[in-house]
Amino acid sequence: MSDRLILPRSREFVQSIPQKPLGWLAQEAGVSRILAGRGRRKRQALKFAKRVIHAADKMQQQPDDAVKQQLQESAAKVRKLGANPSGKQVIHCFAAIREIVRRISGMEAYHTQLAAAYGLFRGGAVEMATGEGKTLSAVIAASAHGVLGHVVHVISANDYLAERDGNELAEVYQALGLSVGIILPDMERDERRAVYRSDIVYAANKEVAFDYLRDRIASGLRSVAGDADIMIKAKRVLGSSANDQPVLRALDVAIVDEVDSVLIDDAGTPLLISTERGASDSQIPAQALEVAAQLTENRDWRINRLAGMITLTDKGLEKIQQLGEKFGGPWKQRVRREEMVSQALSAVHLFKRDEHYIVRDDKVMIIDQNTGRRMEDRFWGQGLHQMIELKEGLEGSGEKRPLISTTYQRFFRRYRTLSGTSGTIDECARELAKVYNLRPLAIPLRKASRRKMHPPRVYKDADRVRAALVESAKKCITNGQAVLIGTRTIQDAEAISNALTDKGIDHQLLSAAQDADENALVAKAGQAGMVTVATNMAGRGTDIRLGAKVAEKGGLVVLLYQQHFSKRVDRQLIGRCARQQDPGEAMIFVSPDDALLAVLAGKKGWLARRCAGWSLLTPRILRWAQKMNEQENALRRHRLVEADRRMAELLAFSGGLE
């Protein structure tokens, strides 16, 4: 989605700068070396974990003061080892942390959790199945960094999880002699500054990223608008105003929960701080929509749904020039008018209501395509947001003037040590290694999974899919199981909700339109007879615990209504059942009219849609379409990385991109 905001002429300019072939070859060789070492790293991590457990067992009979003393002594010795410490003292440091955590919280870290903690400590992308203890692993890794004097940011997917984990684990950190703070959305700068002085800081990814941008503005460092002033820089050094002082202490260590969601799915999401330019002026966006309405598809413009791009033809460019003559102003500028019409066509043909955005209280609110959550504080730039408002019959909002911007991809690469956990690392391991230098580490299950994965169920069309899914849900709750139904869009969620209502099945609906108590609703999804309908990965990071006797009846059943555009999201949803050796089932319901096939263009797309009508081929063709979409998204993110690199080279004299 974010690549659509790179306007065509800008994209052409950035891509015209040649790559450095030798640099590319060296980078690919480095990535291959990182990936080739996965087996060795797993063996090392598990071996390290066993040695930690052996050392911690010897501490169980020692008093608290003696264990804390050993921790301090080990930490002091580890600090002398330099940037990449290893060896006996690191083992003793982890062992003391494990023992103190056990005494305070009652949570005893298993060897798999310690192996994961070691991977996080060394800067890795750690794959752990849902329910295997990612939170505890992150606590141990954060504590190890904390006692070594590092500033640690534990990054959560949303504010609720940051507040929950920070409060629940505060006592553990305090027992280790570490201070802990939580960044909340409504905090003022002075409050944030105080929290960031803590050893361990829990915060949502957007909060830390925007604090970084606000620090850049306050310090007078270069912004998009070019408002830097040497006197503002001097004020920062001299400290003439407390509010000019940065709130962030350092970008030292970041441990990111659901790292693939933040660093891959949201990689190119523009993080922009802007100011209103004045009263709303919808005249130019309205003119662009008027011109776009007079253009004909395939003759004047073409659409690539897989890449999410609109391309103007030569005939279209000539027609735009003719139609724009009566407006004057910016329409006299060739590049400007072409960009405006490209955005108008995108607003009409690429952005869909209740899929990419919702309308609430006469406002257009963007929907995160990977979580299904509303992003109330976000807007599309380059006039696109105003055009979508006008398309929906709303009054266009005021044009915004950008002050400074970045992306998660650019921001998180600034940390000295970056690591993270997720249940789905394997599919994006190469990209994480290439872009962020994160070493993938797959942690085995502590106990064998009891999940029963059914073959895909194929039906003729979406109506039959919904009917079959509702019948399966009814059967499951009659048996005393709990059901979680995952959908791709709000329309799908509401259609299934209506079908359940028609059958008299009580359920809870969770989507971007009903997300006030997202995590609380998902947490209750494991109760007997409960049916929960959720878009994508709503409530990701929240445990679904089974209610009384649900395990005896077969556990939680996950039903996927069509596949997501990314296999990782399907895997995340399936991973909600059968956690920690609970029983569980999962099944996918598909049909040949799946919107996943609509993104495929050309003869291959036509052939795929024809062959998808054969039930034996449908699942394979849908997986192929899914793979094509994943590759296109990866290519899009690669373009953003290259754009960052090339623009950084062009702007090196001015201090970087932000």
Give residue-wise pLDDT tens across range 480-501: 999 999 998 888 989 999 999 9
Q: Residue 166 has what pLDDT?
A: 96
Q: Residue 656 has what pLDDT?
A: 46
Is residue 205 a part of any domain in this protein?
Answer: yes
Given a contact cutoff of 8 angstroms between Cβ atoms, the answer to whether 236 and 245 are in contact is yes
Nearest to 353 by CA among 393, 382, 303, 383: 393
**Angle value at C-alpha 365, between 576 and 247, nearest 5 degrees:** 80
CA distance 183 to 203: 5
Is residue 655 a part of any domain in this protein?
Answer: no
Given a contact cutoff of 8 angstroms between Cβ atoms, the answer to whether 588 and 570 are in contact is yes
Residues 179, 318: one domain? no
Q: Residue 658 has what pLDDT?
A: 57
Of the listed ranges 53-57, 555-559, 593-597, the one predicted with least confidence: 593-597
Given a contact cutoff of 8 angstroms between Cβ atoms, the answer to whether 310 and 300 are in contact is no
Mean pLDDT of 596-625: 83
Give 3-state DSSP helix, strand, coil % of the chain, rounded to 5. Answer: 50, 15, 35
Instruction: State the DSSP H helix or E strand holding residue 459, giving kind and residue range, or none if neither.
Output: none
Q: Residue 234 has what pLDDT?
A: 38
Identify how many contiguous H helices and E strands the chain contains and give both numbers: 24, 21
CA distance 47 to 412: 30
Neighbouring residues of 22: CB distance < 8 A, sequence distance ≥ 6? none
pLDDT at residue 15 above 70? no
CA distance 153 to 248: 10
Residues 357, 248: one domain? no
Given a contact cutoff of 8 angstroms between Cβ atoms, the answer to whether 125 and 423 are in contact is no
- Confidence class for position 379, pLDDT limits 50, 70, 90: confident
Q: Residue 3 has what pLDDT?
A: 47
Q: What is the pTM of this model?
A: 0.85
Q: Which residue range(s) make up the domain with 340?
A: 278-398
Is residue 111 a part of any domain in this protein?
Answer: yes
pLDDT at residue 472 above 60? yes
Higher pLDDT, 262 or 276: 262
Q: Residue 69 has what pLDDT?
A: 95
Looking up residue 325, the CATH number of its domain turns out to be: 3.90.1440.10
Mean pLDDT of 328-338: 88
pLDDT tens digit sequence for 38-78: 999 999 999 999 999 999 999 999 999 999 999 999 999 99
Of the listed ranges 232-236, 285-289, 562-566, 595-599, the one predicted with least confidence: 232-236
pLDDT at residue 116 above 60? yes
Is residue 29 a part of any domain in this protein?
Answer: no
Residues 259, 157: one domain? yes
Given a contact cutoff of 8 angstroms between Cβ atoms, the answer to whether 168 and 138 are in contact is no
Residues 285, 240: one domain? no
pLDDT tens digit sequence for 300-323: 999 887 777 898 999 999 999 999
Residues 459, 544: one domain? yes
Q: Residue 231 has what pLDDT?
A: 37
pLDDT at residue 422 above 80? yes
CA distance 37 to 31: 10
| Overall number of domains in the chain | 3
Q: Residue 407 has what pLDDT?
A: 87
Mean pLDDT of 360-375: 77
pLDDT tens digit sequence for 620-643: 899 998 998 888 888 888 877 777
Higher pLDDT, 605 or 141: 141
Residues 92, 157: one domain? yes
Mean pLDDT of 202-211: 94
The tokens for 10 are: 């800008």
Mean pLDDT of 439-454: 94
Looking up residue 260, the CATH number of its domain turns out to be: 3.40.50.300
Residues 115, 148: one domain? yes
Nearest to 4 by CA among 372, 320, 382, 354: 382
pLDDT at residue 144 above 80? yes
Average per-residue pLDDT in the chain? 85
Mean pLDDT of 289-307: 89
pLDDT tens digit sequence for 334-350: 888 998 999 999 999 99
- Burial classification of residue 83, based on how many CB atoms lie within 10 Å of its CB (0-12 exposed, 13-18 middle, 19 or more buried): exposed
- Confidence class for position 236, pLDDT limits 50, 70, 90: very low
- Confidence class for position 11, pLDDT limits 50, 70, 90: low
Is residue 20 a part of any domain in this protein?
Answer: no
Residues 318, 239: one domain? no
Q: Residue 361 has what pLDDT?
A: 84
Higher pLDDT, 397 or 435: 435
Q: Which amino acid is residue 20, in one-letter code?
A: K
pLDDT at residue 20 above 60? no
Given a contact cutoff of 8 angstroms between Cβ atoms, the answer to whether 252 and 416 are in contact is yes
Of the listed ranges 138-147, 151-160, 508-517, the one predicted with least confidence: 508-517
Residues 122, 138: one domain? yes
Last residue of a domain, one of 532, 559, 591: 591
Residues 522, 567: one domain? yes
How far, rounded to the nearest angstrom, does the alpha carbon of residue 540 sit from its chain's CA centroid?
10
Residues 141, 233: one domain? yes
pLDDT at residue 151 above 90? yes
Q: Residue 655 has what pLDDT?
A: 46
Q: Percent of the chain, pLDDT > 90?
A: 53
pLDDT at residue 221 above 60? no
The tokens for 109 are: 């870290």
Mean pLDDT of 169-182: 96
Helix 21-36, helix 429-436: angle, nearest 10: 130
CA distance 509 to 532: 6
Of the listed ranges 114-128, 133-147, 507-521, the one predicted with least confidence: 507-521
Mean pLDDT of 374-384: 76
Which residues pair with residue 452 across a beta bridge? 585
Residues 389, 243: one domain? no
Nearest to 144 by CA among 110, 112, 116: 116
Neighbouring residues of 627: CB distance < 8 A, sequence distance ≥ 6? 567
Q: Residue 32 has what pLDDT?
A: 87
pLDDT at residue 368 above 80? no
